[in-house]
A and B are shown apart, each in its own frame.
Chain A
Amino acid sequence: MSREINAEDITTAIADLAVSSNRTLPNDVAVALAAARNNENLPLAQATIDDLIKNQHIAAEQQLPLCQDTGLAVVFLEIGQEVQISGGDLTTAVNKGVAQGYIDGYLRKSIVSPLKRENTNDNTPAVIHTTIVPGDKLKITFVPKGGGAENMSRLAMLKPSAGIEGVKKFIIETVREAGPNPCPPVVVGVGIGGNFEYAPLLAKQALLRQIGSKANDPDIAVLEAELLTAINKLNIGAQGFGGKSTALAVHIATAPCHFATLPVAVNINCHVARHQSVIL
């Protein structure tokens, strides 16, 4: 038995997600920012986070995007293997939704050709990641990813001899070198293992995990806590002005890798850690 999902419904869902995800922070991110504010002693750090929180209220009241950089549209599609898409092709449906959301929602169109830098004028194409899963549903997750934090993200193909110490060093150094540029407090997504293209995808997916949740693997959960403590001792602080709030969370996803390799990817998200999902 297959279940039919109309391409037009996918377009509408994407357009709605584009607008709402750019105006509203996920609740876990808002809660983490408020907790970071309460943890600060420095007046400048407190005032800075207060303003970031105030920004959420203004964006909601005035229906403005939280950040002028409304990002490149990263779209995760978890497609139930019993789903059949009718009335159009999936990629076109997604990109139509992105164009509609960014034009109708007064979101910035930031996508250009890489060398000539010519704007596509509707923020397409999206970067689309599809996985086929059991069931007859389609889960769409929309992630507007800003350029500033993306520019501070890194991939390393470490030697296996670097081990866990090498992994920790690379993650901390990436956050240290980024400093104020990616708009801290940041969320640090880490992918360890896989291969050259899979580690960064794991890192991006790790950004979507609920802040405050623990990794399933207890060893990884300990590593996350240790890294968060170390990163928040860097004193970069909110906006790089100093303080304890350099990162709200470190989330690590792992996958087995070739025995000759140790890939590590660090994908940084700004404090406007936007993402929203819907299930069709």
Chain B
Amino acid sequence: MSDIILNTPLDKKQLQSLKIGDKVMLSGIIYTARDAAHKRLVALLEKGEELPFALSGSVIYYAGPSPTPPGKVIGSVGPTTSGRMDDYTPVLQEAGLAATIGKGKRNQAVIDSCVANKAVYFAALGGAAALMAQCVKEAEVIAWPELGAEAVRRLRVENMPLIVINDTTGDDLYVKAIKVV
């Protein structure tokens, strides 16, 4: 199983070749956002105001890092449970968000939105947060620092290991995994 190399901004044509279970190495710029940031992002979108980052071809990582120790780029930074962001995801994908990274199940609305908008959902390794931190080469808070761990951060990542959970055809690795006996 050879790894698929992806670079940001993501090309939706390339995303269409991805299938569930594929292992991807992602490099480039991604943005962290959790519950509180999503609420604000969608509110800005609804008001027609500018977002802290351009959505087209972008990647959101559902993560809130631990504090950055002295001399490090970032603290531990594994994925949080994606399902809490389900209500916000389709509208962001319609506005250009190309991929989301987290862990755990998405609802049918997100899976349908991935098909309609040619977007994908990746899993990072839940709980392997010190390992995930090694892929982060630069980190900067770009919006809402008052949210602390939940602020929006711009991360430059190199070879971030990801697994395709929901592809652009509506398939779901989590559903397929439990059917294989």
Contact = CB atoms under 8 A, between A and B. Distances in A.
Contacts of B178: 179, 234-236, 242
A237 to B, nearest CB: 6
B78 A181 contact: no
B177 A66 contact: no
A62 interface: yes
B133 interface: yes
19 contacts: A51-B128, A51-B131, A52-B128, A64-B76, A64-B129, A65-B66, A68-B65, A68-B78, A106-B67, A107-B67, A148-B80, A148-B103, A180-B123, A180-B126, A181-B81, A183-B126, A235-B177, A236-B174, A272-B127
A43 B1 contact: yes
Interface stretch (A53-61, A72-80, A204-212, A253-261): A53-61
Interface in B162-179: 163, 173-174, 176-179
Contacts of B179: 235
A139 interface: no
B174 A59 contact: no
A180 to B, nearest CB: 5
A123 to B, nearest CB: 11
Given A148-B81, A241-B163, A117 B131 contact: no
Nearest to A48: B125
Given A109-B149, A179-B104, A180-B105, A51 B125 contact: yes
A240 B76 contact: no
A8 interface: no
Contact of B104 (A51, A65, A148): A148
Given A51-B161, A68-B65, A180-B103, A62 B149 contact: no
A63 B21 CA distance: 32
Q: What are the nearest 7 A-B pairs in CB distance? A: A242-B177, A181-B104, A183-B126, A55-B128, A59-B130, A55-B131, A64-B130
B68 interface: yes
A258 to B, nearest CB: 35
Contact of B21 (A44, A108, A109): A44
B9 interface: no
A151 interface: yes
Contact of A66 (B21, B104, B105, B129): B129
Nearest to A178: B104
Contact of A183 (B23, B76, B103): B103
Q: Size class of B's contact patch?
A: 35 or more
B101 to A, nearest CB: 13
A121 B150 CA distance: 13
B5 interface: no
Contacts of B123: 180, 239-241
B174 A67 contact: no
B64 interface: yes
Contacts of A239: 103, 123, 125-126, 163
Contacts of A110: 64, 149
Contacts of B63: 68
Contacts, number: 152
Contacts of B69: 63-64, 106
Interface of A: 43-44, 47-48, 51-52, 54-55, 58-59, 62-70, 106-110, 117, 119, 121, 146-148, 151, 179-181, 183, 234-237, 239-243, 270-272
A110 B149 CA distance: 8
Given A64-B129, A65-B75, A107-B67, 14 more contacts: A51-B131, A55-B125, A59-B76, A64-B133, A65-B76, A68-B66, A106-B68, A108-B65, A151-B81, A239-B126, A240-B123, A242-B176, A243-B177, A270-B126
Contacts of B161: 51
A68 B64 contact: yes
Contacts of A272: 127
B107 to A, nearest CB: 12
Given A67-B78, A148-B80, A109 B65 contact: no
Given A68-B65, A179-B174, A235 B181 contact: yes
Contacts of B81: 147-148, 151, 181
Interface string B4-18: 000000000000000
A236 B173 CA distance: 10
B68 to A, nearest CB: 7
